[in-house]
Amino acid sequence: MPETMQYPGQSFPSIDTRVALRVLVIGGGGRDHALCHAFASSPLLGELHAAPGNVGIADIAACHPVDLEDHDGMLAIAQRIRPDLVIVGAEDLLVAGLASRFEDAGFACVGPSRAAAQLEGSKLFSKVLMERAGVPTPPWRACSDRPTADAAVEALWGGDDGRGVAVKADGLAAGCGAFVCTTRDAARVALDILMVERRFGASGDAVIVESLVDGEEASVMAIVDGVTLVPLPVARDYKRLADHDSGPNTGGMGSHAPSTEITAREAAELARTYIQPVIDLMAADGVPFRGVVYAGVMLTSEGPRVLEYNCRFGNPETQSLVRVIDGDLLDLLHRTTYEGLAAVELGDGAAIAARGSAVAVCVAASNYPDMQLEPAPVLVSGLDEARAVEGVELFIGLADGVAGAGTDAISALGGRVVTVSAWGADLAVARERAYEAASHVRLEGRQLRSDIGRVAVTAGS
């Protein structure tokens, strides 16, 4: 057994990669299903466990029922199965310090500490880091009361011809706390929702008001061991609920990977220019970040601008990303915790290479995103027909069991109930397969965008 690796923060014995790994994934949504799907094909995998998992994950992993708020219960599961590696999927669990609890108990965990997870847990924390690290971000102001917020809207509007502002809850809001406001009335409504109605509770105690910038947005993701960064293929996320980027912001209605706007080499350069400086600064501050970072980068005519950082795999970017990574994701993640990433060999583009293309289309319940914080059961059917489409995998959202015969129907807990992920040799093929499969997924009042990947396919034809 190789000697112990000294790692910023917690250190664990290096692991013999010939030994089959016992892996525990914490979560039960579509992103967690996608990660389990990726791990299931790794030659390093011995046993795959999920807590709580879901009906889709149960096909490839042993699921352990537990409430997502029961951190003691999750730790008890780990103490029972003794995983070599724990992966925490969701940002709220990371911000609440779950990764720290696993590591304090002696388990190697992919995910930032409670302190490092503030990179996503507080918009103010991340904006201050960007400014200190010299990372370009749109003009912004932090506001802790309504008069200050109203004044910030006026100050950042840019005159009568201004493009508007984004109003964002400082804290977590299940992916739905950011409002793109192209009129002053819309900005006032957003501030009412966050600071008066307090729809997202304490997350709206403070808000960030930020100037809108034009351009294409890219999700630049990287795996980080606290020091070294390994860029992943760039995914394109679709945040707004409806076609043509209309309707309210959501947690994401679909994605495609790799991005057609950015080459692998450009992706690596973006990661090293707009993520590495923040990682270096956090390490210097004594708050090293280990896990996955993704930056929401707006590609403007004046150069890239970072909108925000996230401290975990994107959702739904992961549902397309895992289909195209040309390599072993589990190997990368266990290196992150055990040996470090310095020895990882990258492709010619200086990033993990992509194989083919993938399109992920989220099928959502009727009142999403309003139901995000209060899920309601909904019956979803037609899954067997969707799975029969070539190149398609279905990643199930939070589900509370199987309904009907076989696996053709599930009882889901609302929100984004199923993500249809289709692989193809090129984006056009992947997109055609994704929408063919999505047409078979049935639920009352279903919502899905019809334009995921459309512009990219048109531009490339």
| CA 200/CA 373 separation, integer angstroms | 9
Judge if 144 and 199 occupy the same domain: yes
CB 232 within 8 A of CB 249: no
Please tell me the predicted confidence (pLDDT) of residue 404: 35
- pTM for the full predicted model: 0.91
Please tell me the predicted confidence (pLDDT) of residue 405: 35
| CA 459/CA 461 separation, integer angstroms | 6
Burial 152-185 (b: 16+ CB within 10 A, else e): bbeebbeeeeeebbbbbbbbbbbbbbbbbbeeee
Residue 368 forms part of a structural domain: no
CA 55 centroid distance within chain = 21
| CA 149/CA 193 separation, integer angstroms | 13
Residue 270 forms part of a structural domain: no
Q: What is the extent of the structural domain holding 155?
A: 139-211
Residue 191 forms part of a structural domain: yes
Judge if 103 and 165 occupy the same domain: no
| Single residue among 156, 190, 211 that ends a domain in this structure | 211
> At 91, which CATH number?
3.40.50.20
| CA 306/CA 296 separation, integer angstroms | 6
CA 45 centroid distance within chain = 23
Closest CA to 385 of 443, 448, 436, 429: 436
| CA 34/CA 257 separation, integer angstroms | 14
Judge if 145 and 207 occupy the same domain: yes
Judge if 68 and 108 occupy the same domain: yes
Per residue, what are the HEC states of 386-425? HHCCCCEEEEECCEEEECCCCCCCEEECCCEEEEEEEEEC
Judge if 30 and 89 occupy the same domain: yes
Judge if 144 and 200 occupy the same domain: yes
CB 294 within 8 A of CB 313: yes
Residue 259 forms part of a structural domain: no
Contacting residues for 265 by C-beta, under 8 A, at least 6 apart: 348, 349, 350, 351
Judge if 65 and 143 occupy the same domain: no
Judge if 84 and 166 occupy the same domain: no
Judge if 42 and 103 occupy the same domain: yes
Please tell me the predicted confidence (pLDDT) of residue 163: 79
Please tell me the predicted confidence (pLDDT) of residue 400: 58
Judge if 176 and 96 occupy the same domain: no
> At 159, which CATH number?
3.30.1490.20
Residue 99 forms part of a structural domain: yes
Please tell me the predicted confidence (pLDDT) of residue 16: 53
Residue 333 forms part of a structural domain: no
Residue 6 forms part of a structural domain: no
Report the number of distinct structural domains present in the chain: 2
Judge if 67 and 147 occupy the same domain: no
Judge if 72 and 106 occupy the same domain: yes
Distances (CA, A) of 28 to 25, 32, 34, 276: 9, 6, 10, 30
Residue 296 forms part of a structural domain: no
| CA 31/CA 38 separation, integer angstroms | 11
pLDDT per residue, tens digit, the chain (461 aa), is: 223 333 333 343 444 555 699 999 999 999 999 999 999 999 999 999 999 999 999 999 999 999 999 999 999 999 999 999 999 989 999 999 999 999 999 999 999 999 999 999 999 999 999 999 999 999 999 999 999 999 999 999 965 556 799 999 999 987 788 999 999 999 999 999 999 999 999 999 999 999 999 888 888 999 999 999 999 998 999 999 999 999 988 889 999 999 888 888 888 999 999 999 999 999 999 999 999 999 999 999 899 999 999 999 999 999 999 999 998 999 999 999 998 999 887 876 677 888 999 999 999 998 888 755 566 788 999 999 999 999 999 999 876 554 333 478 888 888 899 999 999 999 999 999 999 999 999 999 999 999 999 999 988 76
| CA 107/CA 80 separation, integer angstroms | 12
